[in-house]
Structure 1
């Protein structure tokens, strides 16, 4: 089935069919649905090259990814990209990744936009007062921020998790179990999500008349090795924490290894809560002692960012909400128990 045959079948012009399939607002909803139904039933697939020439659209989403020798690979990034790629594939969009030096990221974004290679893009790894947002708002291409930026007015399109609320709720649970000495294995200190998680912990502790000792906080890459080394540091403190919050189940994997080496029993000698990004190869319920977690799927976030960007391209007048904050789910398992006497 080609465009001409579909046109003859429906008694509509080829232009009307093309515009209906591409979401142009001047095509009525009844006609659009009729065209979409016929396309599904006949197996019609538009010629993407011709479609791009006709619409002036690249049919691509983009990301500029800073790369430096000291950066380690990130399983969390890969999980988000998997969700985004699923949606791109379903809508026959390409996904373009442009590597850049960290100091040249803004220049690379401007170059990507001016090249016409993408119709929309997203920003990730938000920092406090992130200058990329003002730059993105000045460019003529839709964008979505994955996360938020502390210190800036939230007048830009974003999708984020309520990291502050999640770690406040997790800390409240531990306080309710009688814990008074806390440790935090957090992500990189410059990133917004890590700052918000620290805020959530501080808020809960302050309300209970407690404080988080600075030597009981570590910030760094969310890796198994970092979790292991810095859990050993926390266990070596004169007054070691009885409750630990981890920014990721990957960090928790290393932390639990350090606990096992020290002969401590999770949930009895020390309680631990981790954030669960719903990583398929690291399920918290499959730890030797199942982990209590705050859970929000990174893959679902990737899917949603792609859906929002594509909607903004294909139907900008009826696009999704400008801002979304997802609530994490607190799932209680065996890794949390009463504070040891």
Structure 2
């Protein structure tokens, strides 16, 4: 089934069918619905090259992925991309990934925007006073940020999790259970989400007249190996922490391993709360001691970002400019009262 055959089947001109498929406002709703129904029934798929020539649109979302020798693959980013891809497929969009040297992200974003291969960009791994924001605002195509940037005016479109509140709530639970020495196994310290999670814990401790000391903090890429190394260091302290917050279930996997190897019982000798990105292969309820978590799905975030970007390209009026999701605190067996 090609465009000519579809137009003959409907008794419409090829121009009308094409405009209906591409969202032109001059096509009335009844005609648009009739065309979309025929597309679904016949399995027609538009020629992307012809569609691009007709509309000037690529039908693609773009992102820059920093990569270099020794760069770790990130299961969290993979889960986010899965959500992005699911939404793109629903709307017959592609997404284009441009690998780039980490020192040339701004240049790579400019080149990708200028290539004509994408209609919109999204940005991740936000930092304090992120210089990429000003550059994106200067481009003639829409963009969306996953996260936020401390120190920057919040005048850009974003979707973020309230990381500060999530870790404040998690710390508050441990404090209510009598814990006073609470440690943090966090992501890279220059990333915005890690900064906000540290702030949430520090504020909760301060409310009780306590402090988050440097000996109780660890920042690294979020792998199980780094989670184990951090927990082993905490357990060697003269006064080890009785409660620990982890920025990922991946970090928690290593932390729990260190706790077990030390002969300690999770939820009794030491309590642990992890942030759960809802990774399908690492469910907190399947740990030997089910983990208490702050829960927010990365896949759902990826899907929502794609829906918002595509919606903005289709000029849908109901798309918000900014969203801040609240994480859900789910209490399981890895948290218990502090030992006297």
- TM-score normalised by the shorter chain: which range applies? over 0.9
Give CA deviations for 1:230-278 in whole Å, capped at 9, x if unaligned: 1011111111110000000000000001000110000000100000000
The alpha-carbon deviation at position 317 of structure 1 amounts to: 5.0
Q: Structure 2 matches for 1:145-164, cutoff 5 A?
A: 145-164=145-164
Q: CA RMSD in A?
A: 1.4
* Corresponding residue number in structure 1 for 2:235: 235
The alpha-carbon deviation at position 6 of structure 1 amounts to: 3.0
Alpha-carbon distance in structure 2 between the residues aligned to 1:43 and 1:98: 31
The alpha-carbon deviation at position 330 of structure 1 amounts to: 0.8
* Corresponding residue number in structure 1 for 2:337: 338
* Corresponding residue number in structure 2 for 1:329: 328
The alpha-carbon deviation at position 318 of structure 1 amounts to: 2.4
Residue 21 (structure 2) pairs with residue 21 (structure 1): yes
* Corresponding residue number in structure 2 for 1:316: 315
The alpha-carbon deviation at position 86 of structure 1 amounts to: 1.7
Alpha-carbon distance in structure 1 between the residues aligned to 2:58 and 2:252: 42
Change (3 A) 1:266 1:193: same
The alpha-carbon deviation at position 179 of structure 1 amounts to: 0.8
Residue 273 (structure 2) pairs with residue 273 (structure 1): yes
* Corresponding residue number in structure 2 for 1:282: 282
Give CA deviations for 1:59-99 in whole Å, capped at 9, x if unaligned: 22111111122421111111111111222223222221111
The alpha-carbon deviation at position 29 of structure 1 amounts to: 2.8
The alpha-carbon deviation at position 187 of structure 1 amounts to: 0.4
Q: Structure 2 matches for 1:207-246, cutoff 5 A?
A: 207-246=207-246
More moved, 69-78 vs 1-10: 1-10
Alpha-carbon distance in structure 1 between the residues aligned to 2:200 and 2:156: 23
Alpha-carbon distance in structure 2 between the residues aligned to 1:294 and 1:97: 30
8 Å CA contact retained: 1:182, 1:242: yes
Give CA deviations for 1:12-39 in whole Å, capped at 9, x if unaligned: 3322221221122333333322322232
Q: Structure 2 matches for 1:15-164, cutoff 5 A?
A: 15-164=15-164
Secondary structure, counterpart of 2:99 in structure 1:
strand
Secondary structure, counterpart of 2:82 in structure 1:
helix
8 Å CA contact retained: 1:125, 1:146: yes
Alpha-carbon distance in structure 2 between the residues aligned to 1:16 and 1:101: 45
Secondary structure, counterpart of 1:244 in structure 2:
strand
Secondary structure, counterpart of 2:281 in structure 1:
coil
| Off by >4 Å, runs of 4+ in structure 1 | none
* Corresponding residue number in structure 2 for 1:304: 304
Secondary structure, counterpart of 1:316 in structure 2:
coil
Give CA deviations for 1:164-217 in whole Å, capped at 9, x if unaligned: 111111111111111111000000000000001011111211112221121100
Residue 183 (structure 2) pairs with residue 183 (structure 1): yes
Secondary structure, counterpart of 1:4 in structure 2:
helix
Long gaps (5+) in structure 1 = none
Question: Normalised by the size of structure 2, how large is the TM-score?
Answer: 0.96
8 Å CA contact retained: 1:312, 1:319: no
Secondary structure, counterpart of 2:183 in structure 1:
strand
The alpha-carbon deviation at position 46 of structure 1 amounts to: 1.7
